[in-house]
Structure 1
Amino acid sequence: MITAAAGELLHRAQQAGTVRPGVHTEDLLAFVNAISLATEHHDDDVQANRLLDIAIDGIRLPR
């Protein structure tokens, strides 16, 4: 279910021109997993939010 939902959201974002073509659902899920693992022992969300911002900037189409 998570993969299907993420895939639909990604498809819509790509159709809207806000996400690069060539990004796959599995890429997004890997980002989320990696950020979660990298920050699981932190008491605050500062690093997780920063890493998420970097990942999002990386998949967006340049304006």
Structure 2
Amino acid sequence: MIRLNKDTPSEVLQEVKKGDLVTDTFSKTGLVEEIETTDDGLYRIYNFHLVTGRTITIKK
């Protein structure tokens, strides 16, 4: 299980793939269904959409 939060290194965030089991250490845990990565000029934003319908968002 991969723990995703603001302290997770960017290298780890980039290696997460579809089907990986992830958690945000609070209430969101599940398999990754889709990953969206965007860059707003200041932050790189990772959206991990889980099969449970929840989304974990990390800004780095």
Asked if these proteins are the same fold (TM beyond 0.5), I'd say no
Q: Which has the higher contact order (CA 8 A, sep 6+)?
A: 1
Larger fraction in strand: 2
Q: TM-score if structure 2 supplies the norm length?
A: 0.26
